[in-house]
Amino acid sequence: MSRTLNDKLEEYNENNPTMNLVLFMQAMEHICRITRVVDRASGNALLIGVGGSGKQSLSKLSNFLLDIESQQILVSKTYKLASFKEDLFRF
């Protein structure tokens, strides 16, 4: 799994802005989880965590593996529950 994911990361970096990722075991497990969830019919995931933990990078790599496009919700100070509901319907 490590070799395959590192090869795919190199392929991603050839065509996109470079992501300098270290794919340790826990990161590879998260990629597998994200890929499994998103690959299902109408699959989606809401990733929550502290900034800089790799959520966005692992999601980008997972989506690259599946050849799908992702959507991202940008939260601001004025973002309310109604905004979240609108975003859910939009995506």
Is 0.75 topped by the overall pTM?
Answer: yes
What domains can you pick out in the chain, each with its CATH number?
Answer: 2-90 (3.40.50.300)
pLDDT score of 17: 93
pLDDT score of 71: 80
The answer to whether 13 touches 19, Cβ cutoff 8 Å, is yes
Q: Say how far apart CA 26 and CA 78 lie, in whole Å.
A: 34
Residue with tokens 């601001």: 76
pLDDT score of 2: 94
Per-residue model confidence as pLDDT tens for the chain (91 residues)? 999 999 999 999 999 999 999 999 999 999 999 999 999 988 888 888 888 888 999 999 999 999 998 888 888 899 999 999 998 888 7
